[in-house]
Amino acid sequence: MPWYEAGGLLIGTILIFMALRMPVAMAFLTANLVGALIFIGGEVAIMQLVANATTSVTTFTLVPVPLFLLMGELFFHTGVALRVFDAIDRLLGRIPGRLSYLTVGGGTLFAALSGSSIANIAMLGSTLLPQMEARRYKPVLSVGPIIATGGLAIMIPPSALGVLLGSIAQIDIGKLLIAGIVPGLLLASAYVAIIAYCTWRDPEAAPRYPVEPLPLASKLRLAATNVLPMASVIFMVVGLIIYGIATPSEAAAFGVLGVLILALLFRSLTWESVRKSLLGTVRVTGMVFLIIVGASTFSQMLALSGASSGLISWVTTLSFHPLWVLAGMLMIVFVLGMLMESVSIIMLVAPIFFPLAAGLGYDAIWLAILILLMLEISLATPPFGIGLFVLAGVAPRGVTLSTIVRASLPYIIAALLIACLLIAFPQLVTFLPGLMG
């Protein structure tokens, strides 16, 4: 069977079952079964399918996934997140648009602990948006920063989606997580610049309101007792990975321990918060591992059928510049992001794009970061950006979906400009991973 027919059969089977509303993981597993029976045949096909599925999830590189998820769940359910947000809010004082800055600063901090964009958007929307609406912030400074900053959890380590992508694409997880630091900080800086410009151009976009001033001593005490402990957990997790002191799995375990200790010190750790955190972690981990089984086996079916090698040979014989191929891949991810959720996109494109990128000489970590950035942008992109619906679900009445879409546009444009910057200067992505050797 020609490679294009084999690839079309496998991908077409997946798309048909997804159109019939079959769960994504089940659609991939069904396509894998069809592929195994066609390209291997007999009982050997079933045995090989089971062996591939088992091997894909029995790997040490996936250990950080449940640990990072648990760290974020504990951070949220123990109330430590709200304590940190309140402290940052009081430290900002009378700065114009301070709640918008709080959204970016606190959201970036929470992104570094949760690893979940949906959790990030939901928390920011439920805690800060009502306050901004009550103080008559315009949508570009209330809704916009929330939908933009919420997506940073895809980029800033620990990123659960990054671990998933790295596992499917067989990339060093530690280096991939660290590679997201600079792009994540660039995005946060761009969002801060948008807020500063909007408050300068239109002071009424974020009306000032009286805030009780804090003496310098009180500010230092507040920072030392609330913000600094959480920052230390983040730097510990990231630092252990950067300096090679611990693997991502060990660093994630230290992160969980750090959040537990902080919750105990803040006297907010309860059996109920632990129960909710564990249940949330088990639920998401089960979904992620089932997805990995489907995606990893799908990648092997593409290789067995010759679809992967055929596609690489075909693209490399074209007269297109490799940059145009890269632009095409990123555009596909961007367009799919308007129609599908992020995990499904990773399952679909990773087995195809990374072998193709290797044939064109592109760095796998650099490509992974660009894909994650496109997925982050797609969270806020209509018609089906999941971040839009999550925020609309927790927002106060009167905040419509069209309002959220319009408010997110400046931040989407800023993120696209950052993507162009990363393409022009790959060193922004590869510098920190290069320090790890």
Mean pLDDT of 169-174: 85
Number of domains, the chain: 1
Q: What is the pLDDT of residue 114?
A: 62
Residue 255 has pLDDT above 90, yes or no: no
Lowest mean pLDDT among 5-19, 57-71, 172-186, 316-330: 57-71
Query: Does pLDDT of 152 surpass 90?
Result: no
Out of 89-93, 114-118, 178-182, 426-430, pick the least confident.
114-118
* Residue 341: partners with Cβ closer than 8 Å, 6 or more residues away: 24, 386
Please say if the pLDDT value at position 123 is more than 80: no
Q: How confident is the model at residue 365 (pLDDT cuts 50, 70, 90)?
A: very high
Query: Highest-confidence range of 76-85, 191-200, 249-258, 393-402, by mean pLDDT?
Result: 191-200
Query: What mean pLDDT, rounded, does the chain reach?
Result: 82
Stretch among 33-42, 110-119, 156-165, 279-288 having the lowest mean pLDDT: 110-119
- Exposure letters 217-245 (e unless 16+ CB within 10 A, then b): eeeeebbeebbebbeebbebbbebbbeee
Domain that holds residue 89: 3-435
Q: Answer whether 148's CB lies under 8 Å from 111's CB.
A: no
| Across 163-190, average pLDDT | 88
